[in-house]
A and B are shown apart, each in its own frame.
Chain A
């Protein structure tokens, strides 16, 4: 499985934007980039995913480099509730149908949000 590299930890202030980086230099053309986060004492929660183009949803934005070797998760205004471990994951399809895949989690980035 292609690997991702994330900083171990990052710190932000409440109501400021947060940019969480992820390097994935061995990404293949069919790998999707997924982001999940895990709040304390909870299971992981889907945040966003993308393939080539930048993506936005109600939770965050995902900026993907043109060569796809890196991406950045952007939280536009951090809140205390955003304090969590953020995982950047490459979703590699196991079969050509694309529905059969597994997620390989790394260590993630622990985001601390200061009031």
Chain B
């Protein structure tokens, strides 16, 4: 079974621009969570989608948004990029098949804002 895939793997953007990142969960997984990882703050939860609905949200500004499609693929968008948004963005999927206990992470998208 294919793992969680994220595209693109690397991205360079300029301050003020917007960016869209994509995540394809493991087949059959309906929950997708997004995390931001920086050296200073570590791994921080952004939001989680289940059946196209946002169920949980972390403490990030409204510039960070996401959505989930009917095939469970998810996108996250960051508008008006700031230098501090440079980070590794990880998505993870999970399924009731494993009792929701395991989250499977993708390799991440490395975003650099200049």
Contacts and interface: CB of A to CB of B under 8 A. Distances in A.
A99 B98 CA distance: 11
What is the interface of chain B mostly: helix, strand, loop, or mixed?
Answer: strand
A104 interface: yes
A98 B100 contact: yes
Nearest to B3: A43
A44 interface: yes
Range, interface on chain A: 20 to 34
Interface of B: 4, 31, 33, 35, 42-45, 48, 50, 55-56, 58, 90, 92, 96, 100-108
12 contacts: A42-B107, A43-B4, A43-B105, A43-B108, A44-B92, A49-B101, A91-B101, A102-B33, A102-B48, A102-B56, A102-B58, A103-B45
